[in-house]
Amino acid sequence: MFDVVAFDADDTLWFSEDSFRKYETQFVEIVAPYVPVGVDIKAALIATERKNIDAYGYGVKSFGLSSMEAAITLSNGEIPAVELQKILHGVREHLTEPVRVFDGVAEVLAQVSSQFRTILITKGDLAHQTRKVETSGLSHHFEHVEIVLEKDPTTYAHVLKSLDINPERFCMVGNSMKSDILPVLAIGGFGVYVPYEILWELDHAEHPTANTDRYVELETLSLVPEWLAQQSK
Amino acid sequence: MFDVVAFDADDTLWFSEDSFRKYETQFVEIVAPYVPVGVDIKAALIATERKNIDAYGYGVKSFGLSSMEAAITLSNGEIPAVELQKILHGVREHLTEPVRVFDGVAEVLAQVSSQFRTILITKGDLAHQTRKVETSGLSHHFEHVEIVLEKDPTTYAHVLKSLDINPERFCMVGNSMKSDILPVLAIGGFGVYVPYEILWELDHAEHPTANTDRYVELETLSLVPEWLAQQSK
């Protein structure tokens, strides 16, 4: 049934979004004293991220630069540099924090990689994503690791072509409908959606309405090996 | 003689380092009024970049974050947020400035790619490097574009293996002895060094003392096609 199974990384194999929420909350606490009451600080930060995404791309460094910008704009230039320094410290801390792998992931990857060519496809910052893969203790399960700028149909098609993978025999497992499922269905592949409780607003998308025969939603990653085995029967 | 010829991008095909110097000079001008006379502001910025390179990786966003940090530290937290905003504006401007291709590059790539499999290997920020490749008007000359975190022997060996390239039939053309030449010589490949007048301090290395039979220095990129033709005779 499948030649290759690919996994997303952030919030599929390990925690990611919860750290962004933590630093978002810190940001609100740092900036609030310099902003008029009633201003939605979090919404302003997300709007700044959205404006910058084309120029900056995804990841912690982009989040950090947008945070600094939003802090200065929201405070009308009144925020002291020492407060901005706290945001910078947060960026460095965020980039170097240890990877927290989800329970049971190593077992799932061991099972899947014993039966299928297994790869990792993640989007984001090259330095940070590489560090996470290398320090996760999971990299030996993957025949190939691809860090991409954007997870759209064009990018998936390009990656599959370069690795000589037939989309019809390709299955992508991930927590983002927008990044892991819809673009893979669009190029003829299969998508296993394993939702995670928190999702970045810029990564939101509706469930698929087409190609639903090539799509399944599973409650946890531990159900993936059994589902894959059933498809091969 | 060669199956594949690879080109570096920044300061090999187009201007890059001169922009960093421009924003470095702007940084010194912005920060100087808040720093005691006699402090070497530029040296402090470079030291901050060096400290952060492992966590941040290469590129404009890393440079921007290090600039903000150095500005706050150098001014002992006294620099006003509006001055830091100028640094942030510079980051965005730097990331979105048009690519300035060196004279004659399109002709060189057309000649080389008509005779060899031709690829691009560049290190840096995924978003910025992708944007530059896509807007350079040169991407059609390349069979493959690889954006890597670090240009060391391990990375070159990995890229060549994934593209099924024999290092002994591989030639890398670039302006950085440290990133483009020495690591390629180390894995058994050939290096064509085309120096550019300015080089980032963190990218400095001495000329090779070993494997010099697989190394040549050419004054301009326009001499590359002829040199390649001679090797194949």
Pair A107, A170 in one domain? yes
Pair B218, B137 in one domain? yes
Indicate if the pLDDT at residue B209 is higher than 90. no
**Region B195-210: what's the mean pLDDT?**
80
pLDDT, tens digit, 9 for 90 and up, residues B39-91: 999 999 999 999 999 999 999 999 999 999 999 999 999 999 999 999 999 99
Task: Tell me which residue has tokens 């400095």.
Answer: B204
Partners of B135 on chain A (C-beta within 8 Å) are none
Query: What is the ipTM for the molecules in this complex?
Result: 0.91
How many other C-beta atoms can be found within 10 angstroms of the C-beta atom of residue B161? 11
Between the alpha carbon of residue A121 and those of residues A6, A7, A152, A182, the distances in Å are 7, 6, 12, 15
Interchain contact, A126 vs B147, CB within 8 Å: yes
Interchain contact, A130 vs B147, CB within 8 Å: no
Picking from A145-149, B114-118, B195-199, which range would have the lowest pLDDT averaged per residue? B195-199
Question: What gap in Å lies between CA A13 and CA A138, rounded to an integer?
Answer: 9
Band the pLDDT of A9: cuts 50, 70, 90.
very high
Indicate if the pLDDT at residue B197 is higher than 90. no
Q: Whole-prediction pTM value?
A: 0.92
CB A102 within 8 A of CB A15: yes
Instruction: Note the pLDDT of residue B119.
Output: 98
Pair B78, B110 in one domain? no
Distance from CA of B97 to the nearest CA of A (A): 10
Q: Which residue range(s) make up the domain with A23?
A: 17-96
Instruction: Note the pLDDT of residue A205.
Output: 79
Question: What gap in Å lies between CA B26 and CA B70, rounded to an integer?
Answer: 13
**Axis-axis angle for helices A41-56, A17-31 (nearest 10):** 120
Tell me, yes or no, if A139 comes closer than 8 A to chain B by beta carbon: no
Pair A91, A124 in one domain? no
Instruction: Note the pLDDT of residue A212.
Output: 84
Can you say whether residue B158 is alpha, beta or left, with left for phi > 0 and alpha for psi between -120 and 50 degrees? alpha
Return the residue of A nearest to B73 by Cα. A85
The interface residues of chain B toward chain A in range 29-48, judged by CB-CB distance below 8 A, are: none
Indicate if the pLDDT at residue B148 is higher than 80. yes
CB B118 within 8 A of CB B109: yes
Indicate if the pLDDT at residue B158 is higher than 80. yes
Domain count, chain B: 2
Instruction: Note the pLDDT of residue B104.
Output: 95
**Axis-axis angle for helices A17-31, A60-74 (nearest 10):** 20
Pair B149, B50 in one domain? no
Partners of A56 on chain B (C-beta within 8 Å) are 61, 95, 127
Instruction: Note the pLDDT of residue A154.
Output: 96
Indicate if the pLDDT at residue A204 is higher than 80. no
pLDDT, tens digit, 9 for 90 and up, residues A102-143: 999 999 999 999 999 999 999 999 999 999 999 999 999 999
Pair B8, B36 in one domain? no
Interchain contact, B81 vs A82, CB within 8 Å: no
Instruction: Note the pLDDT of residue B204.
Output: 76
End position of a domain, from candidates A96, A111, A133: A96
pLDDT, tens digit, 9 for 90 and up, residues A151-202: 999 999 999 999 999 999 999 999 999 999 999 999 999 999 999 887 777 7
Between the alpha carbon of residue A143 and those of residues A4, A100, B162, B168, the distances in Å are 10, 22, 10, 24
Q: Where are the beta strands (DSSP E) in B66-205?
A: 117-123, 144-148, 170-174, 190-193
Pair B56, B76 in one domain? yes
Pair B143, B170 in one domain? yes
- pLDDT > 90: percent of chain A: 89
End position of a domain, from candidates B53, B68, B96: B96
CB B50 within 8 A of CB B202: yes
| CATH number where A182 lies | 3.40.50.1000
